[in-house]
Structure 1
């Protein structure tokens, strides 16, 4: 399996408001990873629809990463996605990968690059 489709950034959303104030969600960079697109199959697509979600893409990243359903993914083309499912598995060669099922975000919800 190759991871040559680009680099993605994973953000966790954290409340940075002071105690008692209105919550303010701020994206905090968790990591950058090379990724490869995978096939978005009919079963995965329709299962997401049954859960009132829309699966737009599936990507694989190397190793077993700590990525959660509350995380946001930004691809190197600037598009942003919410993680619907993060599956830790092994590919056909026995290498550890994390398969991410993603739902596209509106452009206003995509985080700017933070370091």
Structure 2
């Protein structure tokens, strides 16, 4: 990635760890199912939008983690307009992301699995 994209990714992970983790977990879960055509071109913002209702429904058990996030409107502007990362880029950057607590994503994966039972 370009230095600008790398810096933006670091900011994204730092300012919105919960929303980014949620989006990445949804992306990972979708990748485990039947591969959707064009899945790597899908934007992170569209992935988040598709699953925002589910995140909202889990607001109670994720309350402490959600409180780590900055302004949700800035998150939207950041991903939808300023830095529209694609799913493929996110998968590449995730491997070198050290400033994101991966236990958040594990917790979200468990909550998503329990909600689907």
Range into which the TM-score falls when normalised by the shorter chain: under 0.3
The structure showing larger relative contact order (alpha-carbon pairs under 8 Å, at least 6 residues apart) is 2
TM-score (structure 1 length as normaliser): 0.27
TM-score (structure 2 length as normaliser): 0.27
Answer with 1 or 2: which has the greater Rg: 1
Tell me which protein shows more strand as a share of its residues. Answer: 1
Tell me which protein shows more helix as a share of its residues. Answer: 2
